[in-house]
Amino acid sequence: MSEDPDAKKLVPQRMLELMEAEGIKTLFGIPDPCFASMFVTAEQRGWRVIAPHHEQAGGFMADGLWRMTGRPGVIIGNEGPGVANLLPAAICASKENTPTIFIGGQRERFFDQQVRRGHFQYTPQSKFFEAAMKYVGVIEYAEQVDEIFHEAFRQALSGTPGPVYIEYPQDHSFAMKKFGPLLPPEKYRMMHQQADEASLKAAVTLLTEAKQPMIFLGTGVFSSRAHDIVAALVKALDCPVIQTPGANARLLDVADQSVAYATPTANETIAAADVVLALGTEIGEPVHYGQGRHWANGNTDRKWIYIERDPTAIGVNRPIDVPLIGDLRDVVPQLTHAIEAKGRVRRMPEKFDEWNDAVNTEMALVIDAVPMGSPIHPIHFAVEATKVLPPDTVIVRDGGGGQHLDRSVQSVPDFRCALVRKFWPSWHRPASCHWSAVGCGGRAPCCSDDRRFRFPVPYLRIGNGGPQEHSHRCYCLL
């Protein structure tokens, strides 16, 4: 039986309905009186309600859920210290362009203008999030719930994705209101964004007439769940793919055409390229803004095509010849269809396989030279650990201490796990190992949460010190 749109509802129930309209049915957060009715209602509606040991961990779990499912993660923080604990994850979400929905509990609005001092668990929280958020909304009145959530999703998922913060005062915990019909997302935000025909035609002309095109692929391809459509584009162009340092997964269907940025093969490929198609990347400092270092060799007058949702990003980091303004999930199929209509012509560098073989041989020698025995060398640990880990392992490593593994074992062909870039998997594939960068200590609480809830997630953590094994399939090198 459908719900009566004219019936009064609890504000927390309406908040859940608004999130359900976006396909969300997982809630991270520590229970508190401010959110008691929301948690109970969520469980009654079939939600997964997951209470982390720490709000910071919950924020990063919400981040991970977005990367794994393509739907925004939701994390709640209780008034005062709980909301304060969300800030590390909020800052990271801002930097990573992750559309996490942060919901902060707050004391009654009465306290906003009260002159008396020494309030319990009260501080003007929303202003602390303003610098990191794409949108900050405070539910002053229950009637504003719909418009605030609509604006939050509109901002989080339009243009460059990013986090939003919604403040939920205790005034509304048990308030009942009439809200009217629930709108589907396509009624209040842009769902698709294709490139204009003139720009698309110019891009197709450059790509099909190029002697040596290449695709420059960033982490946005994976976080947007665009694995399959981008692999189809690679097959249509049949050209080499260079992945940025942040693009740590692999498109398995075209893995033999993909190499990591700054490797010898990538450097030779860049020098030979006369057209670059960049997607899912900011073309930022880690790749020398597409201008310095490796880009200064060979065809320095190469043309650039850039798929980007934010028009204000065009030409900022480097000049762009053909901008394709739109969502790569919509623009890539446009390109693929137009290129396929022209016919497929293989345009891989003549010595691409030879360059790769040389790198693989060198990296194999590096692994062979690693000392055995105790103390355990990190590369030796990684090699041995991957022999026994199950095929669906999620490997989490520190973003700093583990970088040497990326460079040391990224191209060895007989390595069967995600530690090697050559075979790093697409995140959405069920039978594959996964690898994720985490901050030293900053995301460590996530490990304890996964063990607490018996998630089948082994971890490889690389930092300073000696090896230590943790419980429940959690492998740790500290």
CATH number at residue 17: 3.40.50.970
Report the SS3 class of residue 477.
strand
Q: Is the pLDDT of residue 435 over 70?
A: no
Same domain, 299 and 433: no
Same domain, 179 and 83: yes
Residue 2 in any domain: the answer is: no
Residue 3 in any domain: the answer is: no
Last residue of one domain, picked from the residues 302, 318, 350: 350
Hey, CA dihedral for 373, 377, 380, 381, is it positive or negative?
positive
Q: What is the pLDDT of residues 203-238, one digit of tens each?
A: 999 999 999 999 999 999 988 889 999 999 999 999
Same domain, 344 and 362: no
Any idea what the CATH number is for the domain that residue 328 is in? Answer: 3.40.50.1220
Confidence of residue 342 (pLDDT cuts 50, 70, 90): confident
Which contiguous run of DSSP H or E holds residue 464? none
Residue 82: the pLDDT is 82
Hey, CA dihedral for 438, 443, 447, 450, is it positive or negative?
negative
Same domain, 134 and 167: yes
Last residue of one domain, picked from the residues 183, 213, 228: 183
Distance, in Å, from the CA atom of 418 to the CA atom of 202, rounded to the nearest integer, reads 37
Q: Which amino acid is at 355?
A: W
- pLDDT, the chain, mean: 79
Same domain, 225 and 311: yes
Q: What is the DSSP letter of 194?
A: P
Q: Which whole number is the average pLDDT over 457-466?
A: 40
Residue 215 in any domain: the answer is: yes
Q: What is the pLDDT of residues 242-296, one digit of tens each?
A: 999 888 777 888 888 999 898 899 999 999 999 999 999 999 999 999 998 999 9
Q: What is the DSSP letter of 153?
A: H
Residue 415: the pLDDT is 30
Q: List Cβ neighbours of 45 (8 Å cut-off, separation of 6 or more).
A: 16, 20, 25
Q: Which domain holds residue 467?
A: 354-477
Same domain, 165 and 228: no
Last residue of one domain, picked from the residues 350, 374, 401: 350
Joined together, the tokens standing for residue 118 give 């020494």
Same domain, 318 and 442: no
Residue 406: the pLDDT is 52
Q: Which whole number is the average pLDDT over 349-364?
A: 85
Q: Is the pTM of this model over 0.85?
A: no
Residue 35: the pLDDT is 83
Same domain, 323 and 364: no
Confidence of residue 180 (pLDDT cuts 50, 70, 90): confident
Domains contained in the chain, number: 3
Same domain, 155 and 204: no
Cα dist. 444→20, 86, 124, 450 in Å? 30, 14, 28, 11
Residue 188 in any domain: the answer is: no
Residue 192 in any domain: the answer is: no
Same domain, 315 and 398: no
Residue 1 in any domain: the answer is: no
Same domain, 389 and 323: no
Residue 178 in any domain: the answer is: yes
Same domain, 157 and 206: no
Residue 190 in any domain: the answer is: no
The count of other CB atoms within 10 Å of the CB of residue 221 is 28
Q: List Cβ neighbours of 247 (8 Å cut-off, separation of 6 or more).
A: 217, 218, 219, 221, 222, 280, 281
Among left, alpha and beta (phi > 0; psi -120 to 50; other), residue 454 is: left
